[in-house]
Amino acid sequence: MGRTGMDPKVRTEAFKIGFATVLLLWLGRHLGGAVWWLVRQPALWVAAVSWYVAWRLWTGSGPLVLVGVAVVLVLSLIAWRVTSPGSFRGVVAWPVRSWWRRVTVYRSDWQPLMTTLKLTAKDSGDELLVPELLRVRSTATVDKVRVRMLPGQVLADFAKNADRFATTFQAIDCRVRSIHRPQVLRMLVFRIKRATGRIVEPPAPRPSRVLELWFLVEDPLNTPTPMFAVPDRPNLKALGLAVGEDGLTWNLRLLANHLLIIGATGAGKGSVLWSLVRSLGHGIRVGLVELWVVDPKGGMEFAAGQSLCARYCYGDDDTTNTDAKRSFELTYAEFLEAAVAKLRERQRRLRGIFRMHRPAPGDPLLVILIDEIASLTAYVTDRDAKKRIEAALNLLLSQGRAVGVVVVGAGQDARKEVVAMRGLFPTRVALRLNEADEADMVLGTGSRDRGARCEEIPTALPGVGYVRVETNPEPIRVRFAYIDDDEIHTMCSLYAPGAKQAAGLRIPAHASHTDTEEVTA
């Protein structure tokens, strides 16, 4: 080794570049950057074109014409806002708000904040590197700010500063969410394969260096979520049940899924269950969906909706249990074993033909809905019943998804000794909980650190909770729609299996929610 520590056999050649080339390269780089920046400034373009048109009108036709055009423009915008509020928001209101918030709120304090939080770095030339503020997308309630992290940074570096971000930008709260890299080509290949009948898994999400900060500017969840319109044919991959912090609908994928709902007493578990049942209304009516309900609270939750169920069981003084000496808990076991028999029958029928059951009238999606799941797991005293229930439940949870048997369980207690099989539920909802450590028990380790502070949900906000889906570890805060007793009676008359939809009868849409405006207004 030589004095420099380099291999003496390796010779580094010196390249000489002329001053003109260096200047050209420098200009090319900076001009290219400037052009690219200009292309990405729609507000600037709109302003420039408006000024140009205004100037031409002023000089060509006089100020009166200019004022006339301005008045017509304003009136057109008002008419658009009134006749089609949804498109107006998407095309005008939210983009303008996004630009305004970016310029007035986020841009000026961005670099000082990054420096204070030590999220900047210096490159070899001593130039300060700052995480790049990419774009701001605002809804009526949330600003979604995209940031490109510096090399070496991870989401946790930002997540631990969420409170500081919120305070700096005067937001109610701030959530740090990861963004997956777009996979246009891989998704295209996946869709083509699926369209040609090949059952393939969608491409796994790819991490990226971009993350999103969600600043909650107004909380749309402070007001109850109105009921959603019941679709004529439920989309089992996206059932609208709740509203998210961005004021938009949160959809549940029920197909090939299981759902666990945990919440303290009065947290609003009933609203999640009934919102789900209601969204399935027409599916139940035409036999696309079959509801099997276990209601161990003596029928207190679901008795009013019994006519919607293909099977219904409430244990205790269940009329189907005629032998007084027999433990009522065996009724639960038999109920779940009947579901397992269905599962086995479907496995036999579909083996080698389909890998995924496709629900259809006559061959429905079976939804096994269990309220107070602890009554079937932890509180069972009959040992035989306990073993049989556990075996059946585990089978349904581990093998049911592919054959169209879905389990929806609700309860108050998420401890492992109470719901040992909680890991088998891909989608989980944590409503208000009593203890801080319960959020991680329900939603998975690290969920509380990612913002799911369920113990802080006020008792005055029943139906508010955090949802975590299998494909995204970040919990989403939502509020479910509340379904009252009158609505349950209406549902029974409209959606009971086989209920006739009279010709020409328009099923009342009830209160329907479609997007932010209706919620926050």
Ligand X SMILES: Nc1ncnc2c1ncn2[C@@H]1O[C@H](COP(=O)(O)OP(=O)(O)OP(=O)(O)O)[C@@H](O)[C@H]1O
Task: Report the interface residues with ligand X, using CB under 6 A.
Answer: 224, 263, 265-271, 412, 462-463, 480, 482
460 annotated among ligand-binding-site residues: no
Using the minimum distance from each CB to ligand X, give the nearer residue, 28 or 266: 266
Count CB-CB contacts under 10 A for residue 392: 23
CA 276 – CA 281 distance, rounded (Å): 9
Encoded tokens for 451: 């913002």
**DSSP code for 490:** H
In angstroms, give the least distance from the CB of 509 to ligand X.
Answer: 19
CA 482 – CA 446 distance, rounded (Å): 29
Q: Is residue 314 a contact partner of residue 306, using CB atoms and an 8 Å limit?
A: no
In angstroms, give the least distance from the CB of 483 to ligand X.
Answer: 8
In angstroms, give the least distance from the CB of 266 to ligand X.
Answer: 4
In angstroms, give the least distance from the CB of 455 to ligand X.
Answer: 15
In angstroms, give the least distance from the CB of 460 to ligand X.
Answer: 9
481 annotated among ligand-binding-site residues: no
Using the minimum distance from each CB to ligand X, give the nearer residue, 266 or 423: 266
283 annotated among ligand-binding-site residues: no
Using the minimum distance from each CB to ligand X, give the nearer residue, 178 or 516: 516
In angstroms, give the least distance from the CB of 265 to ligand X.
Answer: 4
SS3 50: helix
267 annotated among ligand-binding-site residues: yes
265 annotated among ligand-binding-site residues: yes
9 annotated among ligand-binding-site residues: no
Tell me the CB-side half-sphere exposure of residue 205, using CA atoms within 13 A.
Answer: 9
Using the minimum distance from each CB to ligand X, give the nearer residue, 178 or 412: 412
CA 243 – CA 274 distance, rounded (Å): 15
DSSP string computed for 79-135:
HHHHH-HHHHIIIIIHHHHHHHHIIIIIHHHHHHHHHHTT--EE-TT-PEE--EEEE
User: How far is residue 53 CA from its own chain's centroid?
Assistant: 43
32 annotated among ligand-binding-site residues: no
Using the minimum distance from each CB to ligand X, give the nearer residue, 327 or 377: 377
427 annotated among ligand-binding-site residues: no
Using the minimum distance from each CB to ligand X, give the nearer residue, 226 or 497: 226
Q: Is residue 431 a contact partner of residue 272, using CB atoms and an 8 Å limit?
A: yes
Count CB-CB contacts under 10 A for residue 212: 18
Using the minimum distance from each CB to ligand X, give the nearer residue, 246 or 301: 301
CA 143 – CA 203 distance, rounded (Å): 29
Q: Give the nearest residue (CB) to ligand X.
A: 463
In angstroms, give the least distance from the CB of 86 to ligand X.
Answer: 24
3-state SS record for 421-489 = CHHHCCEEEECCCCCCCHHHHHHCCCCCCCCCCHHHCCCCCCCEEEEEECCEEEEEEEEEECCCHHHHH
DSSP string computed for 342-410:
HHHHHHHHHTTT-SS---BTTBPEEEEEESSTHHHHTS---HHHHHHHHHHHHHHHHHTGGGTEEEEEE
From residue 413, alpha-carbon distances to 374, 417, 510 in Å are 7, 9, 34
CA 230 – CA 234 distance, rounded (Å): 8
In angstroms, give the least distance from the CB of 207 to ligand X.
Answer: 34
Using the minimum distance from each CB to ligand X, give the nearer residue, 275 or 427: 275
Q: Is residue 227 a contact partner of residue 491, using CB atoms and an 8 Å limit?
A: no
Count CB-CB contacts under 10 A for residue 509: 10
In angstroms, give the least distance from the CB of 273 to ligand X.
Answer: 8
In angstroms, give the least distance from the CB of 68 to ligand X.
Answer: 50
Using the minimum distance from each CB to ligand X, give the nearer residue, 412 or 447: 412
CA 235 – CA 252 distance, rounded (Å): 10
Annotated binding site: 263-270
Annotated binding site for ATP: 263-270
